[in-house]
Amino acid sequence: MGCHALGTLTAILVRDTASTEEIQPVSPELIDDQARCLLEDMTVHAIKVGPLYTTESVSVLAQIAADYSHVPLVLHLGPAPDESLLEGGDAEDVQLALFELLLPQTDVAVVDHKLLEQWQSEGMFSGMDADTPAQALLDYGAKWVLSTGAPLRPGLGSHLLQGRHSETGSWNRQAPAARLADADGPLACAITAQLARGLDVPAAVDAAIALAEPLAGRTFQPGMGHLLINRSSP
């Protein structure tokens, strides 16, 4: 996609294709050191934030985002980890920190439609004057929210892009294979790459969907758990 990716580790996971057995978060000091080391060495054109496991990590990323506010930020929101895997951690506190500290600096948040519904049913957005959970994320400050996999009919869903000023976009989506690990990960990465190339959010999402959607149909099962995307196939 015309980009070179740089990574900052946020945790070490003991896991296989079936489950995660242990999570060891990287210290916020190391996250800060590694991220700033890269940012000060090279010109970074977009930042993607994935799973974070402590409120301190969220706070560090929020400060980096504030210091590089001219760089587009993609926030890929996922389900909270099992608290039994986090020593002394509180998954709900981490989620709230993500909402309060990172969403106000986010250009586009990518989140599964079912996860949004789950958060709403669990009362994550109680007290907010929002008609939908996606609108709640916009009210927290995200400029755009891309909710993935909203059902249209059996086997067919949609990606729905909503903007802070009532802009919308919609793309049909074939349901990915059952038990596909991280089905939206390639899409979030592709959006980041397109933003880095200078596209605005609606154009970046449109281009990223065209690039990422075919990957969901190329899977293999190397272990006893989830399917993985076969990134080596042409």
Domain segments of the chain as ranges: 11-229
What's phi and psi for 123, nearest 5 deg? 80, 20
pLDDT at 12: 95
Q: What is the pLDDT of residues 190-225, one digit of tens each?
A: 999 999 999 999 999 999 999 998 888 889 999 999
Q: Is 15 helix (H, G, I), strand (E, B) or coil?
A: strand
Residue type, 28: P
- Output the six-digit token pair for 217: 């149909």
pLDDT at 217: 83
pLDDT at 156: 82
pLDDT at 205: 98
pLDDT at 88: 67
133 burial level (CB within 10 Å; 0-12, 13-18, 19+): buried
CA dist 232 and 38 (Å) reads: 28
CA dihedral in degrees (199, 134, 215, 195; nearest 10)?
20
CA dist 226 and 206 (Å) reads: 27
Instruction: Identify the bridge partners of residue 76 per DSSP, sorted by sequence position.
Output: 110
* Fold annotation for 11-229: UDP-N-acetylmuramoyl-L-alanine:D-glutamate ligase (3.40.1190)
pLDDT at 151: 83
Instruction: Identify the bridge partners of residue 229 per DSSP, sorted by sequence position.
Output: 219
CA 50 from centre of chain: 5
Rounded CA Rg of the chain: 17
Q: How many residues does the chain have?
A: 234
Mean pLDDT per 10-residue section of the chain, whose length is 234 residues: 95 94 95 98 98 96 98 96 80 93 98 95 91 96 95 85 95 83 93 98 97 88 93 74
Are 28 and 60 in contact, with CB atoms under 8 Å apart? yes
